[in-house]
Chain A
Amino acid sequence: MTDTELLRQAQNGDRAAWRLLYARCLPSVWRHAVVSVGDYSAAEDIVGETLLALVRSLSKLDPDSIDVQAWLRGVLRRKIVDHHRLKNKQRRVHAAARNDSSQDTGVTPSALEVEEGRQLIISALEQLPELQRAVLEWKHIEGLSVREMAMRTGKSEKAIESILFRARKEFRRVYERICSETYVTGNGSCHKSETLEKSL
């Protein structure tokens, strides 16, 4: 059953559909909240508020015109921004400069690099179209099969495979761009992206 169908049924008061819908959304919302704020306690608040926003807006959402996952991520982003606004001014400036809103935790150069690399990947994924981002996440993080993704999205398995292919390609392109914008190396390119190409 697709997210759209679940949303429609939930709007009709189908509790089971609602449960299935939020159970689907929770893992992704949780992951993004945690990696974005770096604080499990704050992430719990943000996830709670985000999913509450969904249930409170159920009746207002048009299943035919919105993508539940995309809508949730929009709410999530706003909650995360609100969270960071509560942080000090210095942190906000820093987050904006890096075009992401995560925390740094390490202090050693290697720890910084690890965190930096992690944020680059997240940042690249965040810039993909919603469906491309979702399929990459479902496949590579949640381990969903093509068939399961097809069931969620209402698309054919062939279509999902095609989207996956384009998503990988787009991810590589975005990652390369971010990399080259972020780092200045001897030859002006991000050598990490070359290795990424092999992994894709």
Chain B
Amino acid sequence: MSTKQPPTSSPSPDDDLSSLLRQAYDCEPPREEFVVSLAERLEAEFEHASAPRVAESSAEVSHNGSHNGSPNSAHRHDRRSWRRMVRSIAAVAVAGVVVLATVIWTSRSSYSWTSMLQALEAQPWVESSVEAPTEQETRGWFSQRNQLVVIRNGDDVLWNDWDDGLQSRYRSGSGVLLRERLKNDGSQSVEESLLSFLRSGIAGTQSDRGSEITVVSESWRTVGNGENRHIELDVVLSRGEGDMHLLVTLDPQTHLPLKCQLIEEGAVVESTVRFAYPEQGPQQVYDVGVPRDVVVEDVTSSGEAVRMASIDRTQERVTDVLELAVEDPVRPNETPPETAAETLPESTATTPAESAVAEADITAILHPELNPPSLVVASSDEMSRRVDELMVASWDKSGVTSVATSSDEEFFRRVYLDLTGRIPTVSECREFTADMGIDRRRHLVEQLLSRRDHATHLGAVWRKFLLPDGVDLSMYGGSASFEEWLSDRFRDNMPYDELVRQLLLAEGRVSESGPILFYTALNLKPEEIAAQTSRAFLGIRLECAQCHDHFFDNRLKQTDFWGLAAFFAQISQPEGKMDRVSPVLRVADTDHGEVTLPDTEDIISPQYPLEKSLVDDPDAPSRREQLASWITATDNPHFARATVNRAWAHLLGRGLVDPVDDMRIDNPSICPEVLDELAGYFVASGFDLRDLFRVIVNSQTYQLTSRAVDGDPERTLHFAQMNIKSFTAEQLYDSISVATRLEPLKSEDGSLMRFANFGRQSFLEQFRAPPGQVTDYQAGIPQALTLMNGGLMQSATDLRSSGILKSLEAPFFTDEQRVNTLFLATLSRQPEESERQEMLDYVLAEETGSPQRLSDVLWVLLNSAEFTLNH
């Protein structure tokens, strides 16, 4: 039994090597957003790493300029759309096309489209103008450095700022400047993403996504001689709509374009785009002709225009406010939650207070996830129903059909595991089965929420993500003491904001158990504490911005990380390594200590992440107190959402945002409405964590079955079917213990001995799962063998030590009742007829060996997949 057999999944006679290797390396391709972000980052690094120069590319291209992977010829016929574009604003944007097409195009040995692009990229500013006598003046500006594309057609202005991700549009005479977020809908190829800001320049809108630009063919020739010598580059580009044939005149020395003409049906059209390369370009929309008295309206994602502020033509300051709002979002919590997205009155906002409101609102609309959660006042039952309504709407929207509600048996076992961390006992199963009340599920939930086991279970769950995995705290009292401290707070149903405050403001000697271990486990290092604080309480992986700006969330800068770390810079810190620190070292706030950016002497002041406002008040309480107040504030946009998401993930197997500590713009919630409203409810309830659990567990969504006739992954992804969760190590030990009555229950309420239980502790060490992965626990060969043949299993199934087996020896039991009881004890259900018969056949096959055979049945049940899964 202890011999591990070879896997059955590896090669079979019918497999060929391809399928073998593909199976072994089977994985999803990288996310498009990741590829795009990585490409951008690598480009920037390459730029930095290599001296600016015009490179001559010759990678994999035929000499006449025809490129591998040329576009589908079906796309080459529609010249009309291109004609339209070039004759209007788009003519100027040819400059943009030229500048920004940073895809992997290949080129000839000397002059090429690519070499021209690279020459343009190196310019601080590129200015273009259209010579077209019959049309109004059109000019454009582009700056790779500033990530800006500006087009002015007559008095109409289009301003695309890719650095801030904003597009501003002004139509002559409208008096309104419309601003909206530049879309990044995730449907772009890598090449398109690199060109996305270019495309907005061509089309004047964001609606032309999905068309790729590639070089179909190109050739060049020298024209003139001496000082008049220049290069004519003849290039055919292809986009989704058709081909674009350009004749570009290049400077032979710099490769920069001097002018560009469109060729249609073999003839040069009238419009000619000319280029200039100034050192300076427009800095704000008013520099290109937008009147300073325009009203600014931000367009929400639903297309609704929300007026933010009117600009007093006499007040330059308001203009500054608007710029600040775009570049330096301020704390949105200065606006009451209920008014965050309301339309402001049209009156001029010239007072500082009104301007501040405008700033906050702009930030809130541009980053909806930064809105403080709107308070939701409701009873827990109403909120449960609301969750279900929102989920049903979400399923309808996604085209997902939910499964049926779970059976009582299924729900019963699940809710025990989720709320108390163990399976129910046989008597609890029978008691619940006997309850025919219509509210029996609700009553059960109330009962479990008030149990000590619920508090100790939550203590273990929270300890896992609060303390770094694997840290040895034995010399400071052990992580169990931290878990116990948490459990006591959960038992008393301490408001969660208060619990977090106590954690963040912990003081005392490092040897003291309790909240101070949060700091001790993180070595009292500001950067480690900041990273953990951000993940645990804000749901943000801020440490990804520790060494550089965040790769995939351009809002998160390196200063955000170190600004948060600065809040923890003024606590007493040990010299040397923590494991050599005297246990009597006292952790307390001091009046000194700063953090600096790595490899620099730049001191970073405390700064709330994602909010550029600096905290620099010498009269303010300690830095930690300021941070604790900010994190736990009712209008903090992250805290409540992150907590709700963790609770949801614990109960439903996966967060509404997954992973739970990676909440960012490009990792949106499966159902944002549920996350927002539950967060609003959580805040309104006074951060009542127990009530939050009550709401979720009583929802129909939670009570859906995990069974399905097909394995549609979309269904579990959208929570239209319960995710199956693996046991945590704690659940596994406790459930074996309960199933086999290995240990006596602690008290009258049947709670388990979870602390100072050394057998349990050593078992957990072996099976401990990484934090935050409730659908995963360590189940490799050592664990599987331990489960099959380890000391725990031997004791649990030994006739002398197993409480359940001893009790079944009573003569008044029939073998059938014994088998039924074993099923109830382990799987919390009665056996199906076929299962019962099979087990009985086995038990009765050996007349004198019945007890040992019952032990075997128990062993089989404990090692079954059904036992170790929370379904």
Contact = CB atoms under 8 A, between A and B. Distances in A.
Contact of A16 (B4, B45, B59, B770): B59
A66 interface: no
Interface in B751-766: 765-766
A110 interface: yes
A139 B4 CA distance: 33
A30 B38 CA distance: 12
A183 B9 CA distance: 14
Contact of B865 (A105, A108, A125, A136): A108
Interface string A11-40: 111111111101100100011101100001
Interface in A134-174: 136-137, 139-141, 168, 171
A18 B22 contact: no
A184 B781 CA distance: 13
Interface residues of B, number: 81
A196 B21 CA distance: 12
Contacts of B118: 15
Given A16-B106, A40-B28, A140-B22, A87 B46 contact: no
B8 to A, nearest CB: 5
B765 A14 contact: no
Contact of A52 (B45, B56, B104): B45
Contacts of A23: 104
B869 A183 contact: no
A55 B41 CA distance: 10
A41 B784 CA distance: 27
B31 A87 contact: no
A88 interface: yes
Interface in A98-130: 98, 103-110, 112-118, 120-122, 125
Contacts of A199: 11-17, 20
A20 B59 contact: yes
Given A88-B768, A89-B470, A121 B865 contact: no
B6 interface: yes
A91 B770 contact: yes
Contact of B27 (A34, A55, A121, A183): A34
A53 B865 CA distance: 43
B18 A140 contact: yes
Interface string B857-868: 000000001001
A80 to B, nearest CB: 14
A198 B4 CA distance: 24
A158 to B, nearest CB: 20
Contacts of B102: 15
B114 A16 contact: yes
B685 interface: no
A76 interface: no
Interface string B30-41: 110011001001
A58 interface: yes
A12 B869 CA distance: 57
Contacts of B42: 18, 22, 51-52, 55
A82 interface: no
A45 interface: yes
A65 interface: no
Given A13-B50, A55-B49, A91-B770, A107 B777 contact: yes
Contacts of B551: 44-45, 48
B778 interface: yes
B469 A13 contact: no
A75 B46 CA distance: 18
A43 B9 CA distance: 24
B717 interface: no
B784 A14 contact: no
B603 interface: no
Given A15-B57, A35-B25, A125-B24, A44 B13 contact: no
Contacts of B16: 199
Contacts of B49: 55-56, 58-59
A6 B59 contact: yes
Interface of B, helix, strand, loop or mixed by DSSP: loop
Contacts of B777: 107
B691 to A, nearest CB: 31
A13 B55 contact: yes
A106 B777 CA distance: 8
Nearest to A119: B24
B544 interface: yes
Nearest to A168: B17
A16 B104 contact: yes
Nearest to B468: A86
B600 interface: no
Nearest to A116: B7
A190 B13 CA distance: 14
B780 interface: yes
B50 A91 contact: no
B241 interface: no
Given A51-B38, A190-B6, A195 B726 contact: no
Contacts of B659: 41
Interface in B55-111: 55-60, 102-107
B29 interface: yes
A171 B542 CA distance: 42
A110 B6 CA distance: 11
Given A16-B104, A17-B57, A90 B778 contact: yes
A55 B766 CA distance: 40
B544 A45 contact: yes
Contacts of B30: 26, 30, 43-44, 47
B45 A56 contact: yes
Given A120-B7, A185-B5, A35 B865 contact: no
Contacts of B869: 107
A19 B104 contact: yes
B46 A107 contact: no
Interface centre among A15, A55, A90 (most CB of B within 10 A): A15
Q: List the 10 closest A-B pairs by CB distance, nearest first.
A: A16-B57, A117-B7, A117-B10, A88-B470, A113-B7, A117-B9, A108-B865, A121-B24, A114-B9, A34-B27
Interface of B: 3-18, 20-31, 34-35, 38, 41-43, 45-46, 49-53, 55-60, 102-107, 114, 118, 469-470, 544, 551-552, 659, 662, 726-727, 765-768, 770, 776-784, 865, 868-869
24 contacts: A15-B50, A16-B57, A34-B28, A40-B31, A48-B41, A55-B46, A58-B50, A86-B469, A88-B470, A90-B767, A94-B783, A98-B780, A107-B727, A112-B780, A113-B5, A113-B9, A117-B8, A118-B23, A120-B7, A122-B25, A141-B25, A196-B11, A198-B13, A199-B16
